[in-house]
A and B are shown apart, each in its own frame.
Chain A
Amino acid sequence: MKLFSVLGLTAVLAAGLCGTAQADQLADIKARGKLICGTLGTAEPFSFQHPQTRQIVGYDVDICQKVADALGVSLELKGIAVEARIPELLQGRVDILAANLGYTPERAQQIDFSHSYFVSQQKLLTTKDSGITTLEGLAGKKVTAIKGSSSEQGVRRLIPTAETVTFQDTSSAFLALAQDKVDAFCGSELILVKLAKQSKVPMLVIEKSLFVEPWGLGLRKGETAFKEQVNGVLSKLASSGELDTIFGKWLGEGTAFNIKRDYKVEEIKS
């Protein structure tokens, strides 16, 4: 009996939380005068705490700022955990996601993706002691990734024989690798390169990418007006050269990453 009431309660809660019907998000945001953007706040250089100002800054934050500017509203950032990204968006707690959100077909069934504003190389980090230098060497090994990340799903899909062990955040996953609890760590190349540099244990990033993943801004399904507006902003940023400026500021020459933008801003096709 108790069991049924628990299930019933859960259903009621679910209905209550998600029952906030929205006619047109774009109008709502403009009426409210601010855009609420969900971002990680723990992923340099995309969104992280600036050491001096303590503000959350980064590439993702700047992109969101441009969207807010184009709508003529102010920007409010909300920090969210990796695995909470999509639920937070679906439950209407944020308007848009700029949170290292890689495109996967499973996610595209739940939410809409804007045009790609970044493309990430998903690679693997191993310790030099392990002697693993190729992707083939990972068959049957333990590979870690961040819980709820596309890296986790990628490992399962592309290295089916590997055992995946997930952790809540980058630091736990990295510590597990440094202490030989796992054989490799799958993540975005930028994060891995930085970790390998900082690591006291000698590490290497395997040359070949496991997969390439376009990132989009996450939007609720069916908000066509809002989506068109966001895509318009992204295309304009690319054609006017502003995107290169923002990209250069966080990822280009003079930064720890030193990479060039070699991708187009376009619709993501699965």
Chain B
Amino acid sequence: MGYVFDLGSVLNGKYLDWFLIGLATTLALTVAAWCLAMAMGIILTLVRMIPFPPLGWFVALYVEYHRNVPLLVQIFVWYFGVPSLLPRPARQWINAHHGEFLLAAIALGLAAAAYVAEDIRSGIRSIPKAQYESARSIGFGYLGAMGYVVLPQALRIAVPPLINQTLLLFKNTSLAMAIGVGELTYRTREVESYTFKTFEAFAVATAIYLAISFGIMALGSWSGHRLKLETR
């Protein structure tokens, strides 16, 4: 029995729709988690810079947890664990409002935030201390010196690693299938279980993932040129 490779069998009517719905969900999940990761990453970085040691310890603990616990476990903690600690009305609200998507976005976003915070911190540490001191000496407060002088320069340097994190975040969204989020991998499995065309289904998914990953990488190299960062 030879195997007939037939892409058409998984790229028609219903199945094509499933791929497209899956792709839309994957992109929505990436965007939602990315926004959370950026916001939380910047907050963590700023908190870490406040000269009060316990805050620094808290951020260090946060980063270590998210870097050392498998992401799938973190997703399960958010989906099956956290809601059971909430009061019943809150649980019902979550369940009624696409809880699986919401909680997956939170889990993915918070995990990515740990990496984002580290990337921004590296960016800040690459800015000479004199920049901050000069800003303070001409009258900026802590927030002003950080917000107007140090962070804009630091973020520019942090752009390439942040784009890399975006790529990782995008790929990690496939783990959300484990809690029933209908993203691209989940839909691919669905197409596969209906058509039994395993290779075709995954070939389509692979092609879609690759195309978007290349897009993100192209954005990375373009931004490197735009920001006139020295390439090493």
A residues with a Cβ closer than 8 A to B are 2-3, 6-7, 10-11, 13-15, 17-19, 21-22, 83, 86-87, 90, 106-107, 110, 144, 147-148, 152-153, 165-168, 172, 175-176, 179-181, 220, 222
Contact = CB atoms under 8 A, between A and B. Distances in A.
Contact of B95 (A153, A167, A181): A181
A45 to B, nearest CB: 25
B77 to A, nearest CB: 13
A181 B95 CA distance: 5
Nearest to B204: A7
B83 A18 contact: no
Contacts of B192: 83
B207 A168 contact: no
Contact of A147 (B2, B100, B189): B189
Contact of B2 (A19, A87, A153, A222): A19
Interface in B147-169: none
Closest 8 CB pairs of A and B: A18-B3, A148-B193, A165-B180, A14-B199, A11-B5, A10-B203, A110-B196, A14-B3
Contact of B84 (A11, A153, A179): A179
Given A22-B1, A165-B180, A179-B84, A90 B100 contact: no
A1 B193 CA distance: 29
A17 B199 CA distance: 11
B55 interface: no
Contact of A11 (B92, B180, B199): B199
B31 to A, nearest CB: 22
30 contacts: A3-B207, A6-B207, A7-B207, A10-B202, A10-B206, A11-B203, A14-B199, A15-B2, A15-B5, A17-B3, A19-B2, A21-B1, A22-B1, A147-B189, A152-B193, A153-B194, A165-B180, A167-B180, A172-B178, A175-B80, A179-B83, A179-B95, A180-B91, A180-B92, A180-B95, A181-B79, A181-B83, A181-B99, A181-B100, A222-B1
Given A3-B210, A10-B206, 20 more contacts: A6-B210, A7-B207, A14-B3, A14-B5, A17-B3, A18-B3, A87-B198, A90-B196, A147-B189, A147-B193, A166-B190, A172-B178, A176-B180, A179-B80, A180-B91, A180-B92, A181-B79, A181-B83, A181-B95, A181-B99
Question: Which interface residue of B3, B83, B91, B211 has the most chain A CB atoms within 10 A?
Answer: B3
B57 to A, nearest CB: 33
Given A10-B199, A176-B180, A83 B189 contact: yes
A17 B210 CA distance: 24
Contacts of B190: 147, 166
A168 B3 contact: no
Contacts of A147: 189-190, 193
A153 B206 CA distance: 25
Contacts of A3: 207, 210-211
Contacts of A144: 180
Contacts of A7: 203, 207
Contacts of B189: 83, 147-148
A176 B202 CA distance: 27
Interface string B36-74: 000000000000000000000000000000000000000
Contacts of A168: 178
Nearest to B199: A14
A70 B203 CA distance: 42
Contacts of B196: 86-87, 90, 106-107, 110
A106 B210 contact: no
A265 B59 CA distance: 65
A87 B201 CA distance: 13
Question: Which interface residue of B95, B189, B190, B198 has the most chain A CB atoms within 10 A?
Answer: B198
